[in-house]
Structure 1
Amino acid sequence: MRFITAGESHGPVLTTIIEGLPAGMPFDIEAINQALAKRQEGYGRGNRMKIETDKIQVTAGVRHGKTLGSPVTLSVVNKDYKNWQSVMSAEVVEEEKEKKSRVVHRPRPGHADLVGGIKYHHKDLRNVLERSSARETTMRVAIGAVATQLLEQLGVEVVAYVCELGGIKGQVDVSQMPLAEIRDRANQSPVKMVDADKEQQVKDKIDETKRAGNTLGGVVEVIAEGLPVGLGSYTQWDKKIDARLAQAMVSINAFKGVEFGDGFEVGRRYGSEVMDEIAYTPEQGFYRLSNHLGGIEGGMTNGMPIIVRGVKKPIPTLYRPLQSVDIYSKEEYQASIERSDTTAVPAASIIAQAVVATELVQAVLEKFPNDSFDELKKAVNDYREYSKNPDMWIEEE
């Protein structure tokens, strides 16, 4: 499966084309809309989310609630475009309108503005920020919602939550908590945290930060359970599932780091403390007695839950802007201000869940035959039986 997204933050529409989905897969449009709605939630979001009510439009690849096997095209209309038509017009506009087209020439520190302008020779930095905006993640969430549907029908669950926001860490241990409970707690929380006792403290920190014209970052965790053994490969660097998931995570706007399982903590421990010992029963097959490595060994899924965390930096658009330089006059100015959020970490958990689900589906479709969804389900189920039974792949000498 592969995909491409298109569209600008204040353009008329956001679009994606997904190629490689198996034919006959049940396709739930409402589930996509629910995921898009969750992306717009979260304490600390700005006024843009009050304007947009993202709803998916399916224009190709689906008929009567099932995929056709041909490319699937999805789009979301930007309601705010009506306020930006002359600014974002694809047609040449009159000179007078051009003067009022909200030209950006004071780049924001921490954003793509300046480097993108240099790279693509843009004299108006709006040409950079419109595409580099996190609005693009609307379509990543839509793609992830499709991927999640496929995974769920194969018995795989993916959940995400905020484990730290603005330096305030949740204290609830989720390692023995059912995924359904993690999902429910996160969905009920305005900051997408599992630890309800920390919610008010986090909200107070967000309010304080907003009054100061500043922004907050945080850490999100994604857990995927029920995956078959052996997704990914040790044979080449770019086939390793953890490498691919890491790329997917840091491809999200403002993500600056990623870790799996116990993460960087494993560098502070002895090897005997972090390797996951192996056990076997006929019912379970091979399994691990712990999950310090986050469900991945040698670049492959090992059957344990995948646990991946990503850190999101604070949003670079500040209402008390930092120093910048005007690209025309070369004089020092305060950076430009675009409408923004105080924090988007709660939304980032939804986006992280989506990109992880998308990458896992790509790995599933690479491993198993999938012209039709029935063919895929049979192949996955057969392989699960095979991987549980050593006698099926170990011959006596």
Structure 2
Amino acid sequence: MSPALLHGIDRAAFAVALAGRLRHAGVPAGLTDVDDFVRALAASPPDSMSTLYWTARISLVRRHSDLAKFDRVFTAVFADPPPLLPPSRSAPPAEGHDDVYVPVPADTDDTGPGGGLPWATLPPAVAEATEADTALRLPERRPSALAGLADRPFDELDAAQVTMLGDALRAAVAGWPTRRTRRHAVGSAGPRIALRPTIARARRTGWEPVEIVRERPVRRPRRVVLLCDVSESMRAQATAYLHLMRAFAVVADAEVFAFATRLTRLTVVLRHTSAAEAVAQASAAVTDRYGGTRIATNLRALLTSHHADAVRGAVVVIGSDGWDSDPPDELATVMARLRRRAYRIVWLNPRAGAPGFAPRAAGMSAALPYCDRLLPAGTFQDLLVAARQLQSVTCTDGLKWPTLTPAPRIIA
């Protein structure tokens, strides 16, 4: 072994070539590592293969998991190297390796830049590529969990997927809009002058109003009242509608009711911190679920109860397919009364999104003239769109939506 192992060899070219070989093997040897290796070779020229090994290893390897790759590259670069590590730590050279490295002496003894290259690489023999290697492989793109459930009916969803629907509904109504009330509060950017606070402060300055106090209107969330049908015809949508009611009860402080043959208030039950526990308690509280439907009777019960004040000025949302055992004339009468008291009436029908839908049910046909919106609510995506539509309806202060034109009335 010569006293100077890299005598007459361009250290920078040697370091760059070795780093490139390491990167090809998967060792992340960057420019900073190459610069450290070049400086280490200049500060302490290696006099043995072992010294060169440890200089390169300390400078170019940063992770313990890359030691085996470094050993394989170093062994492949230098033919017949002496034992550098114990047999248990040193990896043997790969069999059948295509790269052959031939040492090339420098043309001059100058060790500065351009003094010579450490080796030349013979072109590797390229084997015939198999059909599997040349086949075009594209990653399989799958929709997200929410997007995959967008158009699936509720009866095809399991409990975990319905719970995911509830979380998405809560996020959809998180920014529930507010309305301007008749009350005012002190605010520096208010458009009006607050007379009483201004006069009270003028007493300190000889009744001269030196400091003007302003006030602004107080804004509160628009009140929401939800009534959802849990009869036999709504069995597939009942659990999903309970999650919809819970989202509004928790986020928008809504009053929520379930009805089949009688009206059941679920506001307190659905505000439970656990969604699964809230839905379970609500299902147990509604004793008449999966029975008949009496929409007109339940709406009249709401308007005559002590919860009738919650309807005044509120957005009333009714989730039902419109099948009603009460006479259509009674439903039309109670809907007219509800229309005079509520701010908006929105009807969610799970069958409204079907192609060629027409409100042929007697109850739906009788209630439609008094609704501001008729929205489909039969899938995951329909409920999310309905939540956004409800926010747009709530934001329109002073704007009256045109009533829907009902289809020809057919008494079923």
TM-score, L = length of structure 2: 0.23
Specify the structure having the higher radius of gyration (Cα).
Answer: 2
TM-score, L = length of structure 1: 0.24
Which of the pair has the greater relative contact order for Cα pairs under 8 Å at 6+ separation? 1
